[in-house]
Structure 1
Amino acid sequence: MSDKNTQPTFFSLGVAVEITHALFEMGITHTFAIQELTLPIALEGRDLIGQARTGMGKTYGFGVPLLDRVFDSADIEELDGTCRALVVVPTRELAVQVGDDLARAAKYTPIQVRTIYGGRPIEEQTQLLKSGADVVVGTPGRLLDLYHRNILALDRVAILVLDEADEMLDLGFFPDVEKLMSALTHEHQTMLFSATMPGAVLSLARTFLHQPVHIRAEQTDTSATHASTQQIVFASHRMDKPSCIARILQAKDRGRTIIFTRTKRSAAELAEDLAARGFSVGAVHGDLNQQAREASLEAFRAQAIDILVATDVAARGIDIDDVTHVINYQTPDDPMTYVHRIGRTGRAGHSGTAVTLVGYDELNKWKNIDDELELGIGEPPQWFSTSPELFAALNIPDDATDQVGSAKRVFGARISARSMGNRGSSRGQRSARSGRVGKAGRAQRSSGREQSSRSRHRSRPTQRFQD
């Protein structure tokens, strides 16, 4: 992709000055490729399919034209606090991320953006919708529930967006998505965004979209992974993986880091292990309540912590441009999961490092990923936490050790009782090392607005361009 400063600006493509001003305050002026290509078509109200790799600006690719049209388009009814645009996303965390992004871009407009998802009291979200919701971002299950309760009205929705449609397919949300789309029997614009285009997504597009324009931000032979991401892969013994992680986290150029695990238990155990070694770490996985998950994500965004241990589903909404390292503590189950994981680094023009620790029982799984994505990495070398090759590959200081400071607590996490069973002797060994041996119970840690405020006669550049 070319340097972003050679790309056209949002203003030059005809976006309302109220929106471009808000973007400017966030340091956003020039478009990325997917935004440049989708904006003129989306602003005309046409159906489209936008395809680009994760981290390449898809959110504002649909979000900016959506806000612009809701704010001032002749074919969309005046705002009255009922939904004019609906954005459907696969996970709670992604709903929060997209909702926040749209709300910031709508700062100087009267548009009210509401975020709806499971894990929060439905009464609270009912009141939120009743207080006024021009743009609603949400997960399929909760949106469908509110629709069936006659709380979320869809009869005046002018724009529908499906974000990360391929992930909704993977997570089994498509039946709910189809029900939501079927509820929109009136004429409306539909935009579907996806990193990949599996058969079910194409079938959905053929069924519900009207003559959509298919836009790809890359050439058809573009690699599924970012060229700006260095990929380091090595075989690691299961018992040595925590020590390897501890040393990788001491790399000289490391900033914010996301560590992916396959299971909730692995995420909880690894987060506890790293905290016991003195690292500032938070966790995001399904055994944490929504409040704890959101607290960890917010602390990570605010750099109160610089390490986040997460499972795949829980981490779908982590959209932070300057993550320097992604670490696969366990080899992903399939190639697309690998792409999504390492796509959390090397985003928006930044460089990044992706490290994958392949267990000896995961070698066949890695071979499948390497072959299908045509990475050309081949059989990974066998390294240990003390291997000079590991230190050299990741710029780790020679004096890096297992412990970096006094033991800490995992940020904000109260781990559910069911996740605490049968943790094994390794936890006792870690507690002994950190001087925190105690009763098993100690492991459970407390961790309608007025329409006169909206004018359609505002300045505009002359060029129009279940969860």
Structure 2
Amino acid sequence: MTSFDAYHLSEPVRRSLEKMGFATPTPIQELAVPVALKGGDLVGQAQTGTGKTVAFGIPVIEHCNASPGQVQAVVITPTRELAIQVSEELNRIGEFKGIRSLAIYGGQDVHRQIHGLKSRPQIVVGTPGRLIDHVLRLKTISLDACRTIVLDEADKLLEMGFLQDTKTILKKMPETCQVMLFSATMPEPILELTRTFMKEPAMLGIKADKVSVPAIAQYYVEAEEKQKFDALVRLLLIQAPELAIVFGRTKKRVTELYEALTKKGYPVRGLHGDLEQAERDSVMKQFKEGSIRLLIATDVAARGLDISGVTHIYNFDVPQDPEGYVHRIGRTGRAGKTGVAVTFVTPAEKRLLKNLEQYAGQRIVPLKAPTDQEAVAGQKQMAKEEILKAIESRDSQRYIDLAEELLKDNDPASVLAAALGMIIKEPDLRTVELTEMPPGKVKSEEKLEVERSKKPRDRSRGHKYPRK
């Protein structure tokens, strides 16, 4: 397939795709869009970042009509962050057709959501618990006119304990409703879900659990626990990531990294499971907009994050399982772009690399921890490249008069050296030691955070429902 034109899409949807910069479909879009446009049920196996939102978004928008009325499509997501992202993407696809989407999720004022529903959006994207609140308890969403339901990241719905809530919603759907399910893996409970609620679904992209991430250059740095932070700082100086996520194993680790990097002068934010929703939203907004270029996160807190433009992933702590490794590094190298993933490994953990390589289907290449001298040289090289870029863009021409004035009475090399001295921030390479937690304690803290995350947290807390 060379173009979306082959799908004979409506003119408004084609305009939206052109505005979004989409010219050719990704593999999952090529498989799913034709089936979904015909109205058939489908199961699509696809990793995050493969374009699955557009894969179901195009047919969902095409099947909706712009006249306000009851909800015509529902998308169930495991996390509030994913609900927001999917809703934003659907609004972009439906822009010229007049189709609107509303995200509803726990942690947000329920009265605000009721107000949003009064504007009669054609699509609702939500987390399971809050959808049940609106459908069954508040009766603010009617599913009678629903034509399509999408289960996005179904394996995460299972993992986070939302399978029963999802079944409850599916039982309320009209019998004629089209069902689409997307999942990175296909555990038995998900397959059972497809057998119970779907009619002869097309099985698309189904493959073994082993995945491949060829667009990501994967490296590991071997370092003692006490040397890992210094190695990270030097790599950040040399690689200068445009947008990066540093993964820590626990919220305690995230806090330590946040405080240590802040002392080094980096504009960073931390993301872990104990943050209030308003603070999480603020952190994600800053990261998406690029006002902060470095995010420190736990696996649990990063679930559902789908952010374009992430160039580097740093695994400060080795993931506990290969699937977690692939999910972490899969947040870079998206939409046809390449990415870089670096994992810090202590000598005792080096044996774990083989399992990660086998699961990811790609060799993880050793990378030597940079020296202080290399870090400083990296800073100088970046400054040189920035100056050459500025010369090529010719933006600096407006300062030509000032340059000529400075060069009239001063040596050119001295003038340039002084300018470079103002540009180059001398890196703080003083050693910082983080707390070295015993392995058993680390494991128990991680387990506790995962257990907390599996409890349905998207219920309305602290809000009294309006009286009927």
Specify if TM > 0.5.
yes
Question: Per the alignment, do residues 426 and 227 of structure 1 end up closer, same or farther by CA in structure 2, a change over 3 Å counting?
Answer: closer
Letter in 2 for 1:41: V
Counterpart pick for 2:199 among 187, 202, 210? 210
The number of residues matched between the two structures is 391
Counterpart pick for 2:312 among 302, 318, 325? 325
The aligned residue for residue 85 of structure 2 is 97
The aligned residue for residue 105 of structure 2 is 117
Q: Does 1:352 align with 2:339?
A: yes
Question: Per the alignment, do residues 369 and 175 of structure 1 end up closer, same or farther by CA in structure 2, a change over 3 Å counting?
Answer: farther
The aligned residue for residue 289 of structure 1 is 276
Q: How does 1:150-189 map to 2 (within 5 A)?
A: 150-189=139-178
- Structure 1 residue 196: Cα displacement: 1.8
The aligned residue for residue 389 of structure 2 is none
Q: Secondary structure at the match of 1:318?
A: coil
CA-to-aligned-CA distance 1:412-443 (integer Å, 9 cap, x gap): xxxxxxxxxxxxx969xxxxxxxxxxxxxxxx
- Structure 1 residue 93: Cα displacement: 0.9
Whole-Å separation in 2 of the counterparts to 1:271 and 1:95: 27
The aligned residue for residue 421 of structure 1 is none
- Structure 1 residue 330: Cα displacement: 1.3
Tell me whether 267-276 or 53-62 shows the greater mean CA deviation. Answer: 267-276
CA-to-aligned-CA distance 1:90-139 (integer Å, 9 cap, x gap): 11111111111111111112222100111111121122122312100111
The answer to whether the Cα contact below 8 Å between 1:228 and 1:351 also exists between their aligned partners in 2 is: yes
CA-to-aligned-CA distance 1:242-263 (integer Å, 9 cap, x gap): 2222112123462211111222
Whole-Å separation in 2 of the counterparts to 1:118 and 1:60: 25
The aligned residue for residue 290 of structure 2 is 303
Whole-Å separation in 2 of the counterparts to 1:102 and 1:213: 23
The aligned residue for residue 262 of structure 1 is 249
The aligned residue for residue 40 of structure 1 is 34
Letter in 2 for 1:106: G
Name the % identity.
Answer: 38
- Structure 1 residue 213: Cα displacement: 0.3
The aligned residue for residue 434 of structure 1 is none
The answer to whether the Cα contact below 8 Å between 1:277 and 1:405 also exists between their aligned partners in 2 is: no
- Structure 1 residue 269: Cα displacement: 2.2
The aligned residue for residue 194 of structure 1 is 183
The aligned residue for residue 233 of structure 1 is 220
The aligned residue for residue 421 of structure 2 is none
- Structure 1 residue 374: Cα displacement: 4.8
Task: State TM-score, norm by structure 1.
Answer: 0.76
Counterpart pick for 1:251 among 238, 241, 246? 238
Where do 5+ consecutive residues of structure 1 fail to align? 1-6, 72-77, 408-424, 428-465
The aligned residue for residue 86 of structure 1 is 74
Whole-Å separation in 1 of the counterparts to 2:278 and 2:427: 27
Q: Secondary structure at the match of 1:196?
A: coil
Letter in 2 for 1:81: G
Letter in 2 for 1:13: Y
Counterpart pick for 2:135 among 141, 147, 158? 147
Tell me whether 159-168 or 139-148 shows the greater mean CA deviation. Answer: 139-148
CA-to-aligned-CA distance 1:311-358 (integer Å, 9 cap, x gap): 223323332332111111111122211111111111111111111112
The aligned residue for residue 448 of structure 1 is none
The aligned residue for residue 122 of structure 2 is 134
Whole-Å separation in 2 of the counterparts to 1:44 and 1:324: 37
- Structure 1 residue 383: Cα displacement: 5.8
The answer to whether the Cα contact below 8 Å between 1:47 and 1:213 also exists between their aligned partners in 2 is: yes
- Structure 1 residue 372: Cα displacement: 4.2
Letter in 2 for 1:190: V
The answer to whether the Cα contact below 8 Å between 1:256 and 1:325 also exists between their aligned partners in 2 is: yes
Letter in 2 for 1:95: A
The aligned residue for residue 56 of structure 1 is 50
The aligned residue for residue 20 of structure 1 is 14
Letter in 2 for 1:198: P
The answer to whether the Cα contact below 8 Å between 1:326 and 1:355 also exists between their aligned partners in 2 is: yes
Letter in 2 for 1:11: D
Letter in 1 for 2:173: L
The aligned residue for residue 280 of structure 1 is 267
Q: Secondary structure at the match of 1:288?
A: coil
Structure with higher Rg: it is 2
Where do 5+ consecutive residues of structure 2 fail to align? 383-423, 436-455, 459-468
The answer to whether the Cα contact below 8 Å between 2:144 and 2:173 also exists between their aligned partners in 1 is: yes
Q: CA RMSD in A?
A: 2.9
- Structure 1 residue 371: Cα displacement: 4.3
Whole-Å separation in 2 of the counterparts to 1:181 and 1:297: 31
Question: Per the alignment, do residues 81 and 314 of structure 1 end up closer, same or farther by CA in structure 2, a change over 3 Å counting?
Answer: farther
The aligned residue for residue 413 of structure 1 is none
The answer to whether the Cα contact below 8 Å between 1:248 and 1:396 also exists between their aligned partners in 2 is: no
The answer to whether the Cα contact below 8 Å between 2:228 and 2:344 also exists between their aligned partners in 1 is: yes
Q: How does 1:449-460 map to 2 (within 5 A)?
A: none
Task: State TM-score, norm by structure 2.
Answer: 0.76
